[in-house]
C-alpha cells in the first residue's frame, strides 16, 4: 500500500499516522521523500487496514493499493490450486466437476428418475433447489426440508453427492448434517452474516457471483467464509447484469482466467443461469471447459415445459449425455480429467 501525502503535510502529523499504523497492524513503513512528494510505502499484512480511515485524513492526498484486500483467497497467500474434497469426490486442480440437476426438487418420483439419468451420463454431483430464492413470492418456493430428504434418497441410490442452496442462517446446522455442498446463491453473495456462519463449518461452500458483483467483491465474499476457518470454497460464475437483454445475464467468461490468476480457489461456471436459454448451455459449457474452469453446474429436466422453475434454461437428459461425451473428448486437449 502506498500513501501519498499532501505536499505541505506537517511532519508531526505524518509521524502520527505512521505510529498509528505500526501500532495497530503487522506492517513496516518505508518512507520516500522528494521536493514535491512524501510517500509512505506500507508493507506486510495490509489486509487489516481500512483504506478509508487513512484517506479521511486531510494530509493524505491519495492511497494506492498494491496488494489485494483479500488474503486467504489470494494466490499470493497460497500459490497452488486448491482441490476440494467432497465426500471423497475431488473438484479443482486437474479434476473437472459436473454438477447437474433440476432447478428445483419438484417431487420424489421426478428427482429419483432424473438422478438415475444424471448418474448414467457420468456427471459427478446432483443439484436441486429445496429453498428457492424466487423473484416473485407467488412462484414455487421449493419443498424445503422435504426436498433435501429426497436429494438424500437419490444420493443413497446413486452415490452422487448433493448440492443445494441455503437461504438463512437458522438452517446451517441442518444443511451441515444433510448436504454435501452448501450453495450460496447470487442473491446472498453479500449476506455477510450467513457467510460468517458458514465460515465456522468445514462444509464445502459453492459461492455464486452476485448479480452485479465485481470479481473483487466475489473474492471478498469468499474471504468472509475463509476468515472464519473454512477454506472449502468453490466459486461460481453465473453471469452478471449488463445492458444486453437477449440473454438472461451475460456470462463473464474472462472472469475464469482472471480468478485463476488472482486466487487458488476452484471456479466453476453455471451456463444455465448465465444464458437463460437451454440451447446456449452446451456452447457455453464448452467455452467454460476450454477457458480453464474447474467445473460446470447445469440445470437438467425431463420435461422442461412443465418445470416448476427455470424450464427455459434446462436441458433434457439426452442433451446432458451428449454434453458429457463432448467434454470427455475435449479433455484430451486440456490438462483436466472429467
DSSP 115-161: HHHHHHHT--EEE-BSS---SSTTS----THHHHHHHHHHHHHH---
CA atoms within 13 A on the CB side of 98: 28
The partner in contact with residue 186, picked from ligand PEP, Mn ion, none with C-beta cut-offs of 5 to 8 angstroms by kind, is ligand PEP
Tell me whether residue 74 or residue 313 sits nearer to ligand PEP (CB atom).
Answer: 313
Tell me whether residue 47 or residue 255 sits nearer to ligand PEP (CB atom).
Answer: 255
**Other Cβ atoms closer than 10 A to 21:** 21
Q: CA 67, CA 46: separation in Å to the nearest integer?
A: 8
Out of 171, 203, 208, 248, point to the residue binding ligand PEP (CB under 6 A).
Answer: 208
Tell me whether residue 32 or residue 107 sits nearer to ligand PEP (CB atom).
Answer: 107
Tell me whether residue 40 or residue 103 sits nearer to Mn ion (CB atom).
Answer: 103
From 314, 303, 255, 250, select the one nearest 100 (Cα to Cα): 314
Phi, psi (rounded to 5 degrees) for 30: -110, 125
Residue 159 CB, nearest distance to Mn ion (Å)?
24
From residue 79 to residue 108, what is the string marking binding to Mn ion with x (rule CB under 5 A)?
A: ------------------------x-----
Tell me whether residue 72 or residue 238 sits nearer to ligand PEP (CB atom).
Answer: 238
Residues 6+ apart with CB under 8 A from 109: none
The partner in contact with residue 133, picked from ligand PEP, Mn ion, none with C-beta cut-offs of 5 to 8 angstroms by kind, is ligand PEP
Residue 186 CB, nearest distance to ligand PEP (Å)?
4
Q: Restricting to residues 146-205, which ones interact with ligand PEP according to CB under 6 A?
A: 165, 185-187
Tell me whether residue 54 or residue 278 sits nearer to ligand PEP (CB atom).
Answer: 278
Under the binding rule (CB under 5 A), the answer on residue 60 touching Mn ion is no
Total residues contacting ligand PEP by CB under 6 A comes to 11
> Which helix H or strand E contains 39, and what residues bound it?
strand 38-44
Which listed range, 7-15, 17-25, 240-248, 310-318, lies at the site for Mn ion (CB under 5 A)?
A: 310-318
Residues 6+ apart with CB under 8 A from 44: 25, 26, 27, 28
Out of 10, 33, 133, 202, point to the residue binding ligand PEP (CB under 6 A).
Answer: 133
From 10, 3, 5, 60, select the one nearest 38 (Cα to Cα): 5
Q: CA 260, CA 274: separation in Å to the nearest integer?
A: 19
The 3-state DSSP class for residue 64 equals strand
The gap from C-alpha 144 to its chain's centroid, in whole angstroms, comes to 23
Under the binding rule (CB under 6 A), the answer on residue 129 touching ligand PEP is yes
Contacts with ligand PEP, residue ranges (CB under 6 A): 103, 129, 133, 165, 185-187, 208, 238, 270, 273
Contacts with Mn ion, residue ranges (CB under 5 A): 103, 310
Amino acid at each position: 500500500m502506498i500513501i501519498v501525502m499532501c505536499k505541505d503535510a506537517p511532519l508531526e502529523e505524518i509521524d502520527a499516522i505512521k505510529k498509528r499504523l505500526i501500532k495497530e497492524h503487522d506492517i513496516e513503513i518505508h518512507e520516500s521523500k522528494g521536493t514535491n512528494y512524501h510517500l509512505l510505502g506500507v508493507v506486510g499484512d495490509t489486509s487489516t487496514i481500512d483504506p478509508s480511515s487513512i484517506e479521511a485524513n486531510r494530509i493524505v492526498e491519495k492511497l494506492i493499493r498494491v496488494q489485494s484486500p483479500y488474503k486467504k483467497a489470494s494466490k499470493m497467500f497460497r500459490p497452488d490450486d486448491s482441490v476440494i474434497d467432497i465426500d471423497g469426490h475431488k473438484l479443482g486442480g486437474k479434476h473437472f466437476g459436473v454438477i447437474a440437476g433440476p432447478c428445483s426438487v419438484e417431487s420424489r418420483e421426478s428427482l429419483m428418475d432424473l438422478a438415475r439419468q444424471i448418474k448414467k451420463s457420468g456427471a459427478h454431483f446432483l443439484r436441486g433447489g429445496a429453498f428457492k430464492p424466487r423473484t416473485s413470492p407467488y412462484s414455487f418456493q421449493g419443498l424445503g426440508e422435504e426436498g433435501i430428504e429426497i436429494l438424500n434418497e437419490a444420493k443413497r441410490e446413486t452415490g452422487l453427492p448433493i448440492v443445494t442452496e441455503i437461504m438463512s442462517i437458522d438452517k446451517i446446522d441442518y444443511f451441515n448434517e444433510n448436504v454435501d455442498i452448501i450453495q450460496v446463491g447470487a442473491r446472498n453473495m453479500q449476506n455477510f452474516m450467513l457467510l460468517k456462519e458458514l465460515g465456522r463449518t468445514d462444509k464445502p461452500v459453492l459461492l455464486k457471483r452476485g448479480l452485479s458483483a465485481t470479481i473483487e467483491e466475489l473474492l471478498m465474499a469468499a474471504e468472509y467464509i475463509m476468515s472464519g476457518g473454512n477454506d472449502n470454497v468453490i466459486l461460481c460464475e453465473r453471469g452478471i447484469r449488463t445492458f444486453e437483454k437477449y440473454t438472461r445475464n451475460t456470462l463473464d467468461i474472462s472472469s475464469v482466467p482472471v480468478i485463476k490468476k488472482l486466487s487458488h480457489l476452484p471456479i466453476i461456471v453455471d451456463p444455465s443461469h448465465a444464458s437463460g436459454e437451454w440451447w446456449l448451455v452446451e456452447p457455453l459449457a464448452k467455452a467454460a471447459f476450454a477457458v480453464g474452469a474447474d467445473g460446470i453446474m447445469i440445470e437438467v429436466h425431463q420435461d422442461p415445459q412443465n418445470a416448476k422453475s427455470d424450464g427455459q434454461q434446462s436441458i433434457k437428459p439426452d442433451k446432458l449425455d451428449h454434453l458429457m461425451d463432448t467434454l470427455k473428448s475435449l479433455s484430451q486437449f486440456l490438462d483436466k480429467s472429467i
